[in-house]
Amino acid sequence: MNVPRTGRTEKWTEVGQGCFARRYPSFDVTVGVVVGADGLLVVDTRGGPREADELRADLAELSDLPVRWVVDTHWHFDHTFGNQRFADATIYGHETVPGALAEWGEHARAALAGRSPEWERDMADLVLTPPTRTFASVSVIDLGDRVVELVHPGRGHTDGDVAIRVPDADVVFAGDLVEESGPPAYGDDSFPLEWPSTLEVLTGLLTPSSAVVPGHGAVVDQAFVTAQFGDATAVAETIRRLAGEGVPEAEALAAAEWPYPTERLAEAVRRGYRHLRESGAPMTGPEGPGPGRRSLPLLGQ
């Protein structure tokens, strides 16, 4: 298949026995593959039909086995909009993903179409393809000679984050619950106050020698995830403290020290204050979240 390239890609890297990762320049997405006796399991399908075609060509370089399973680590376009090219596989995802794609997929398609004529053509060909097999907490996939575990450790980057654990290889594909190429992406569908406890559950799946494949960036280890847990905890605790002290939401970023650049934390503060208001926590300032605001966790994870 002659597939136009979207930019330089790294080669497949074996991160554990029969487990591979490949990092793509487009949105710096890191795709995963688990090789089983009965076929391939692919973790995330990239950002559209064109990118998925490139992925399929790259998979053919890796193995001649068919893709039997796909796992969406969450609903965001850069991880699911390639699903249509894998419609002959069983596509797994958290139970919230189909609804999120139905609600926000067309908005994401329109935003992507405005990026360039190439993206406009690609989005014209897009068929939104949600998971065909969903679960709430845990699921297991038998690849013929090995078992892969799917875990929803809690809400964080979205309400439907999924980690994929390959026990016999000590590999975990973490999706955007863990990011190496930049700070965690606090979008306007994130849960900054819950993210630390979710990462705590995730670290329970790891050993000191685990290879952890993030949704964006290079492969990391348990120590990296533990450090990110500490930073996410600092973000959550700072939001709670400032809100409890009556610091207005608009002044919060300037009122404290943060582990990440403040320009990456505006949504974390907004979402955190909103969730505290909704929980009934004592706060000062205007009540309630503003009407209908959603800026789409797009064009960057």
Tens-digit pLDDT profile for residues 127-146 = 999 999 999 999 999 999 99
- CA distances from residue 260 to 54, 179, 186, 215, 253 in whole angstroms, order as listed: 34, 13, 11, 18, 11
Q: Is the pLDDT of residue 295 over 90?
A: no
pLDDT at position 282: 64
* 255 alpha-carbon distance from chain centroid: 30
* pLDDT range class, residue 239, cuts 50, 70, 90: very high
pLDDT at position 10: 74
pLDDT at position 280: 78
Place of tokens 């068929």: 127
Q: Is the pLDDT of residue 102 over 70?
A: yes
Q: Is the pLDDT of residue 255 over 60?
A: yes
CA distance 21 to 117: 30
* 170-201 pLDDT, tens digit each: 999 999 999 999 999 999 999 999 999 999 99
Place of tokens 């709430």: 136
pLDDT at position 294: 39
CA distance 288 to 269: 14
pTM of the entire structure? 0.91
pLDDT at position 63: 96
Q: Is the pLDDT of residue 296 over 60?
A: no
User: What six digits make up the tokens of 114?
Assistant: 């405005």
Question: What domains are defined for the chain?
Answer: 13-229 (3.60.15.10)
* 63-79 pLDDT, tens digit each: 999 999 999 999 999 99
The percent of residues above 90 in pLDDT, for the chain, comes to 89
* pLDDT range class, residue 288, cuts 50, 70, 90: very low
Q: Is the pLDDT of residue 285 over 90?
A: no
Other CB atoms within 10 Å distance of the CB of residue 241: 13
